[in-house]
């Protein structure tokens, strides 16, 4: 039995993150956050053309604690560095999976050559919650290149890149703390894909652009749309009416209280207060 569509939503807000990321927020701004647990946030940045500049555009030093950030690059390039000593640049097709856990300070900027040449910028950033037992673990950084990401083909030209989880026996490279599925799906017009997602997992189909039918009759078209699926069922069928780019998210719900304040996501108000104090005291480090 396939999962059923529970609700379809557009972006709940549009805003800039720093001066480098014009985003459409697909959750939690539209109120579906409980239905997509363990995922906390999804921002779709761009597509937006940036003129050539020597200015360092993006987001400067800022902290995180208690969750993971996942950045998927479609167009453009972003350079990252953090207080745990990690750094790297992601280019189209690459994925950055940063586990903030006990606390890290980082910055995200347009890569220097991309900024100086100018061009179209398009990325997704997804926040993934951590269970309480891992919230204060050591930070971790996974720089996953496009060559590291295997794919499963559908039809002549359609495919799903397996970033996390497993599809048709093909496993993604991302290491996760709880069961998480993350597929980057490209469908050509007239082709279809059947994707398996575990029974009991929260699931969402995110349309970045295109025109698809989800299941038997739910239509997703245009840009920045999300269909939330039922926990019941073990898969979803997607059929493209036009060339489409999608993300499919699945995950085992984390059955714990969520307390959030800006860049901190913990279980209690007291833990949030401690996170603020620790950051101000420099316990999460700083960038040189």
Residue 280 covered by a domain: no
Cβ-based neighbour number of residue 137 at 10 Å: 12
Which pLDDT value is given to residue 155? Answer: 87
Whether residue 12 is contained in a domain is answered as yes
Nearest to 27 by CA among 13, 42, 39, 49: 42
What are the pLDDT digits (tens) for 143-176?
A: 999 999 999 999 889 999 999 999 999 999 999 9
Per the domain annotation, does 41 fall within a domain? yes
CA distance 176 to 95: 14
3-state SS assignment for residue 112: helix
57 within some domain: yes
Indicate the helix (H) or strand (E) that contains 129.
strand 119-129
Please check whether residue 259 lies inside any domain of the structure.
no
Average model confidence (pLDDT) for the chain?
Answer: 96
Q: How far is CA 54 from the centre of its chain?
A: 28
CATH number at residue 203: 2.60.120.10
| Tens digit of each residue's pLDDT (9 = 90 or more) over 250-284 | 999 999 999 999 999 999 999 999 999 999 999 99
Digit-coded pLDDT (tens) for 225-252: 999 999 999 999 999 999 999 999 999 9
pLDDT greater than 90 at residue 288: no
Summarize the confidence of residues 11-36 as an average pLDDT: 95
Q: What is the pLDDT of residue 216?
A: 81
**CA–CA separation, 8 vs 204, rounded Å?**
10
Mean pLDDT of 100-116: 97
pLDDT above 90 (res 48): yes
Answer yes or no: is 275 within a domain.
Answer: no
Q: How far apart are CA 63 and CA 20, in angstroms?
A: 18
Share of the chain above pLDDT 70, in %: 100
Which pLDDT value is given to residue 225?
98
Looking at residue 74, what is its pLDDT?
98
Residue at 272 is within a domain: no
| Section 47-73 average pLDDT | 97
Answer whether residue 100 shows pLDDT above 90: yes
Number of domains in the chain: 1
Residue-range definition of the domain harbouring residue 183:
5-251
């Amino acid at each position: 039995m396939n999962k059923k569509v529970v609700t379809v939503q557009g972006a709940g807000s549009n805003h800039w993150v720093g001066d480098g990321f014009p985003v459409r927020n697909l959750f939690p701004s539209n109120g579906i956050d409980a239905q997509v647990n363990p995922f906390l946030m999804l921002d779709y940045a761009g597509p937006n053309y940036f003129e050539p500049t020597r200015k360092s555009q993006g987001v400067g030093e800022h902290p995180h604690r208690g969750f993971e950030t996942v950045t998927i690059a479609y167009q453009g390039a972003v350079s990252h560095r953090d207080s745990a000593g990690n750094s790297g640049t992601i280019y189209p097709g690459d994925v950055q999976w940063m586990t903030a856990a006990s606390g890290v300070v980082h910055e995200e900027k347009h890569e220097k050559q991309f900024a100086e040449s100018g061009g179209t910028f398009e990325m997704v950033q997804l926040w993934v919650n951590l269970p309480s037992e891992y919230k204060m673990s050591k930070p971790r950084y996974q720089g996953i290149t496009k060559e590291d990401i295997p794919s499963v083909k559908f039809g002549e030209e359609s495919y799903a890149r397996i970033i996390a989880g497993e599809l048709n026996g093909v496993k993604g490279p991302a290491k996760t703390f709880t069961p998480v599925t993350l597929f980057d799906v490209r469908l050509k017009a007239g082709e279809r894909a059947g994707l398996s997602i575990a029974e009991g997992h929260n699931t969402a189909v995110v349309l970045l652009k295109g025109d698809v039918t989800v299941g038997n009759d739910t239509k997703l078209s245009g840009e920045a749309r999300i269909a939330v699926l039922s926990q019941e069922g073990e898969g979803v069928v997607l059929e493209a009416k036009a060339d489409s780019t999608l993300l499919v998210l699945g995950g085992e719900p984390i059955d714990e209280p969520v307390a959030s304040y800006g860049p901190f996501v913990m279980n209690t108000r007291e833990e949030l207060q401690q996170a603020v104090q620790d950051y101000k005291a420099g316990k999460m480090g700083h960038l040189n």
